[in-house]
Amino acid sequence: MSIEISAKSITPVRLAYGNLQQRFGDKKPASRYQEAVYDIQPTANFQYRPLWDKNHDIYDVSKTAIVMEDWYSFADPRQYYYGSYTIARAKQQEVAEHNFAFVDKRDLFDAVPEAVKQAVRDVLIPLRHVEWAANMNNCQITDECYGSNFSSVAMFNAMDRLGMAQYVTRIGLLLDGNEETTLDAAKQAWMDAPQWQGLRHAIEDMFVLDDWFELMVAQNFVLDGLVFPLLYDRFEKKLTQEGGSTVAMLTEFMDDWYQETVRWTNALAKVTAKESTENQALLSSWVSKWMDRLSIALEPIAIEAFGDDGANELVEVKAELLDRLAKQGVTV
C-alpha cells in the first residue's frame, strides 16, 4: 500500500550542465559527483605565466610526461566530492574516537606486553613522519595536477594523510600518558637511526621530483602499496598475536582507509596505462624505479618489525603489489 502526495510538477528545460550533457548525454540528470569534479578547472586563455615558472601556464598538461587525450577519463570509483568525502570520514573518525576513548578509559595499554609497546614505538610511531610527507606530496599533486577531478581526489588524500599523521601521534601520546617521550624518540630515529635513513632519503628525493605523476606513482602507488600492507596490516596482525590487539583498534582507520584508497589508485593506474603504450611504459619505469628504491629502503624496517621473517614479509608484499598493478595493466 502506498500513499501519494500530489505535488506541483514542472518539466525542466534541461537536465544537466552543458559539459556533463556533452560527456554523459542529455537524457538523465548528472550525479553530484559528476557536477562537482568535471571541467571546473580553467583550460584556456590564461592571463599570465607564473613568476616562478615562465615555461608553464597556470594549469598545464605538460607538467607531466603522461599524455591523456582527456584528463577526465579517470573517475573516482568512490565518487567522492567534498560532501560525500567529509561525511564518510566523519563516520570513520567517530569509530576512531570511540576506540581511542575506550583504550584510554580502560587503560588498555597497561595490559599490553612491554615488548609489543616497544615495537609500536620503534616501528609505528615514526610513520607519523611518513604520513606527514604523504600529506606534502599529495598537496604537491593537488597543486600541479591537471583537472578538477585530480585536484579533488588529491586534496582529499592530502587531508587524509594529515589526519592519519595525527592519529599516529595520538597513539604515541597514549602510550606514554601524554608525555612526549615516544614522539621525541621516534623523531630522533627518523632523523638519525640507520634503519630509517633509506626511507627518509627516498622521501626527500620524492619532495623534489619534477613530474607530478611520477610523484603520484612513487607515493600513492608504490610507497603506500608497500607500507600499508606491511606495517598496518601484517605487522598489526603479528602484534595482535603477541597480545597487542589494542594497537589494532587504534589503527583501524588506517586499515580501512587503505582498503578504500586502493580502489581509486587501481582505477587511475588502469585508465592511464590503457591510454597508450607510451603511458604504460612510463608507468612501468616509474613503478620499477620506485619499487627498487623503496623496497630496499623498507627492508631494515621490515626486519625491525618481523625479525628474521622481515625480508620474506617484504618480498610477499612486494609481489602482491606487482600482481595488483599488473592486473591494472602496469607490468614491470
Partner 1 sequence: MPAKKLNLRKRYELLTRGMGWETTYQKMDDVFPYDSFEGIKITDWDKWEDPFRLTMDSYWKFQAEKEKKLYAVIDSFAQNNGQTNLACASYLSAIKLFITGVTPLEYGAHRGFAHLGRHFRGDGARIACQMQAIDELRHAQTQVHTISHYNKHFSGLHDPFHQFDRVWYLSVPKSFIEDAMSSGPFEFITSISFAFEYVLTNLLFVPFMSGAAYNGDMATVTFGFSAQSDESRHMTLGLEIIKFMLEQHEDNLPIIQRWMDKHFWRAYRLLGLVAAMQDYMLTNSPMSWKEAWEVYFVENGGALFEDLSRYGLKMPKYHELATAEADHISHQIWSVFCSLGNATGFHTFLPTEEKMAWLSEKYPDTFDKYYRPRFEYWAEQKKAGTFEYQKGLPQLCQVCQIPMVFTEVQTDPMQISYRVTEHGGDKYHFCSDGCKDIFEHEPEKYVQAWLPVHQIYQGNCGGPTLPEVLDWYKFKPEDSGDYIGSKDYHRWQEWKGADKKVKQA
Total site size for partner 1, rule CB under 8 A: 88
What is the nearest approach in angstroms of partner 1 to the Cβ of residue 10? 5
Q: Which of 118, 180, 237, 292 binds partner 1 (CB under 8 A)?
A: 180
Q: How far is the CB of 39 from partner 1 (least distance, A)?
A: 5
95 lies in the binding site for partner 1 (CB under 8 A): no
Site string for partner 1, 312-331 (x = CB under 8 A): --------------------
In the complex, the smallest distance separating the C-beta of residue 312 from partner 1, rounded to whole angstroms, is 28
Exactly one of 99, 169, 251, 261 binds partner 1 (CB under 8 A); which one?
Answer: 169
Q: How far is the CB of 186 from partner 1 (least distance, A)?
A: 10
Task: Give, as ranges, the residues between 115 and 154 that touch partner 1 (CB under 8 A).
Answer: 128-129, 131-132, 135-136, 139-140, 142-143, 148, 151-152
Q: Tell me which stretch binds partner 1 (CB under 8 A): 179-187, 239-247, 265-273, 304-312.
A: 179-187
Q: What DSSP line would sit under 150-165, residue for residue? A: HHHHHHHHHHHHHHHH
Q: Which of 62, 118, 178, 241 binds partner 1 (CB under 8 A)?
A: 178
3-state secondary structure the chain: CCCCCCCCCCCCCCCCCHHHHHHHCCCCCCCHHHHHHCCCCCCCCCCCCCCCCCCCCCCCHHHCCCCCCCCCCCCCCCCCCHHHHHHHHHHHHHHHHHHHHHHHHCCHHHHCCHHHHHHHHHHHCCHHHHHHHHHHHHHHHHHHCCCHHHHHHHHHHHHHHHHHHHHHHHHHHHHCCCCCHHHHHHHHHHHHCHHHHHHHHHHHHHHCCCCHHHHHHHHHHHHHHHHHHHHHHHHHHHHHHCCCHHHHHHCHHHHHHHHHHHHHHHHHHHHHHHHCHHHHHHHHHHHHHHHHHHHHHHHHHHHHHHHHHHHHHHHHHHHHHHHHHHHCCCCC
55-94 positions binding partner 1, by CB under 8 A = 58-59, 81-83, 86-87, 89-94
10 lies in the site for partner 1, by CB under 8 A: yes
Contacting partner 1 within 287-306 (CB under 8 A): none
Of residues 78, 187, 238, 324, which one binds partner 1 by CB under 8 A? 187
18-47 positions binding partner 1, by CB under 8 A? 18-19, 29-30, 32, 35-37, 39-47
With binding defined as CB under 8 A, does residue 166 bind partner 1?
yes
